[in-house]
Amino acid sequence: MSTAQQFDALIVGAGVSGVYALYRLRDKLGLNVQVLEAGDGVGGTWYWNRYPGCRCDVESLEYSFGFDPELEQEWSWPERYGNQPEILDYVNHVADRFDLRRNIQFETRVNHATYDRKTNLWTLETEAGETFCAPICIMATGNLSIPRVPDFPGLDDFQGETYHTGLWPHEGVDFTGKRVAVIGTGSSGVQSIPIIASQAETLTVFQRTANYILPAANGPMNREIEAQHKATYRERRKAAYDTPFGIAGYPPPEKSALEATPAERNALYEQKWQEGGSISFLYAYNDLLTNDDANKTAREFVHDKIRAIVKDQTIAEMLCPNDHPMGTKRLVLDTGYYETYNKQHVHLVNARQTPIAGLTPKGIRLEDGTEYEFDAIVFATGFDAMTGALKEIDIRSVDSDSGDVRSLTEDWHAGPYTMLGIMSAGFPNMFMITGPGSPGVKSQMILSCEQHVDWITDCLTYMREHGKAAIEPTEQSQHDWTMHVKEVADQTLYPKAASWYMGANIPGKPRVFMPYVGGVNRYKAKIEAVAANGYEGFTFTPAKEPSLALAGDD
């Protein structure tokens, strides 16, 4: 093993949160920072997910960094929703504009992270055997970064091509003339299916759970709207933090769906359907995510839409979701998804009724013995969400005096325990960006990434000013926050769905609702109060001498 390279702070991951953390810690705190990134470029999610049709479901004017007014004025998005190549270009632009690449080591996968309580140092070991040391470790590892292929028997027997949407080949894939299967109908499946169908000779979709899918109503950017948005960016960014989803411009609904007449409801749902977008639709009424009867009115509207678009009514019924309230799994925005099933060469298989038994050398076999032959199989089967990337790294803290060793994976065996989704007790100076217990995945992600990085920057400044070497949450505050996250979720319909928010897509994963769904606005108030009260709920280790983190030149 090589001699450890010393830094003030290490950041794992060069996605949106990692590049911003590098900028803040290096350029604002003056720290000597090293980012370690598994890919050979920046972008994280947008680097890996290159499947056809990949696009953000938050509007491009919102889904961007808010930390630099010049950056937001100079960048122009071509469409209402950014697609993967455009968003990746944008993150690359940010990396170049702020000269960030010189502190990022690419093609470097971190396998182990160990904190030594005696030295107050984190040591990170990479797959290639390099070691890096620093008092501060930021896990900017993403929430949907560990792609998952179900453990189907015969996976290795299939002789055709296989792809996972989250690990798509950089050179792209041409399905022209091929018999293709797509397994999975979450966002990735729904976005890629219309494009794959336009190339393939035949496309067979294996659907286990039908999802609620709304029109994106994507199109070229309206330059007037862009100009208005850019003229008010400062106010909008600020206002976004005071909204439940971290997106401004959607006045909170005041009325229950059950107070409206059926005709009023249909008119409003129709207006939202035409507008496109998920927040607009969920904001039709104030109880769509808390009252099942209210939710049912929205479900029925969408079912009728599906029946009207899809010509074959047997297929239409299969596409009508019937096992979870609308919005409790991530809503998907589509462009031509339902229409795709009107094409003669596109087939839908009900993999709930007849589950996939396994792969064969030629294709897929169902449990009833039906066999299908394919040239290519696309796994749109999702991710080990929220905790997966953290558990992939063997994260430990060691007390060499007492001999105690703590493992994050063991601490989280029954589900993640965090304080605010930012830190976990027993792992000092390890910060997570949008970790479990924060609103991250239920918000405009870039805003939440910036919020956490800014909070961490303020926290490190506080430590510098108050002579503290290390910070970690108390067991009690972490317990209280984790219980609060659960209580808030239990007041909604979210836990009724077997979603990746619940860990339900991974066999054996604890069923715990992981995101904080109390809203970005309430979360902001909480984290600001914690900081204002001297990081209430956290304990500090005093610095024996100015530690590296405290010795920056800012």
Cβ 551 to ligand N01 shortest distance, Å: 40
Separation CA 250–CA 500 (nearest Å): 26
Q: What is the separation of C-alpha 535 from the centre of its chain, rounded to a whole number of angstroms?
A: 27
Kindly tell me which residue out of 108, 120, 145, 187 binds ligand N01, with binding defined by CB under 6 A.
187
Kindly tell me which residue out of 302, 351, 395, 433 binds ligand N01, with binding defined by CB under 6 A.
351
Q: Strand 179-183's sheet: what is its strand order? A: 161-164, 376-379, 179-183, 202-207, 346-350
Separation CA 440–CA 416 (nearest Å): 15
DSSP state of 28: I
209 binds ligand N01 (CB under 6 A): yes
Do strands 179-183 and 110-116 pair parallel, antiparallel, or not at all (unpaired)? Answer: unpaired
Q: Where are the beta strands (DSSP E) in 130-212?
A: 131-134, 136-139, 161-164, 179-183, 202-207
Cβ 20 to ligand N01 shortest distance, Å: 18
382 binds ligand N01 (CB under 6 A): yes
Question: Under a CB-based contact definition with an 8 Å cutoff, are residues 8 and 548 in contact?
Answer: yes
Which is it for the CA torsion 425, 429, 430, 432, positive or negative? positive
* Residue 142 CB neighbours (<10 A): 27
- Cβ closer to ligand N01: 85 or 546? 85
Helices 445-466 and 520-532, axial angle in degrees (round to 10) = 0
What are the φ and ψ backbone dihedral angles of 134, each rounded to 5 degrees? -165, 155
Kindly tell me which residue out of 41, 66, 135, 189 binds ligand N01, with binding defined by CB under 6 A.
189
With a CB cutoff of 8 Å and minimum separation 6, the contacts of 527 are 420, 422, 451, 455
Separation CA 15–CA 143 (nearest Å): 11
Cβ 82 to ligand N01 shortest distance, Å: 10
481 binds ligand N01 (CB under 6 A): no
208 binds ligand N01 (CB under 6 A): yes
| Six-digit token string for 421 | 């989704």
434 binds ligand N01 (CB under 6 A): no
Q: Helix (H, G, I), strand (E, B), or coil: what is residue 123?
A: strand
380 binds ligand N01 (CB under 6 A): yes
- Cβ closer to ligand N01: 56 or 146? 56
196 binds ligand N01 (CB under 6 A): no
Cβ 267 to ligand N01 shortest distance, Å: 28
Separation CA 144–CA 151 (nearest Å): 19
Cβ 436 to ligand N01 shortest distance, Å: 14
DSSP state of 147: B
- Cβ closer to ligand N01: 330 or 486? 330
Q: Helix (H, G, I), strand (E, B), or coil: what is residue 372?
A: strand
| Near ligand N01 in 94-153, by CB under 6 A | 144, 150
Q: Give the per-residue contact string, 13-52, with ligand N01 (x = CB under 6 A; - = no).
A: ----------------------------------------
Q: Helix (H, G, I), strand (E, B), or coil: what is residue 406?
A: strand
* Residue 71 CB neighbours (<10 A): 16
- Cβ closer to ligand N01: 241 or 500? 500
278 binds ligand N01 (CB under 6 A): no
218 binds ligand N01 (CB under 6 A): no
87 binds ligand N01 (CB under 6 A): no
446 binds ligand N01 (CB under 6 A): no
56 binds ligand N01 (CB under 6 A): yes
Q: Which of 450, 335, 396, 476 has its CA nearest to residue 116?
A: 396
DSSP state of 79: B
- Cβ closer to ligand N01: 364 or 430? 364
Kindly tell me which residue out of 12, 248, 356, 390 binds ligand N01, with binding defined by CB under 6 A.
356
206 binds ligand N01 (CB under 6 A): yes
Using the rule CB under 6 A, give the single segment among 13-21, 55-63, 242-250, 288-296 that binds ligand N01: 55-63
- Total residues belonging to the chain: 554
Cβ 99 to ligand N01 shortest distance, Å: 29
500 binds ligand N01 (CB under 6 A): yes
Cβ 79 to ligand N01 shortest distance, Å: 13
Q: Give the per-residue contact string, 512-551, with ligand N01 (x = CB under 6 A; - = no).
A: ----------------------------------------
Which residues contact ligand N01 by CB under 6 A?
55-57, 144, 150, 165, 183-189, 191, 206, 208-209, 330, 351, 356, 380-383, 500, 505
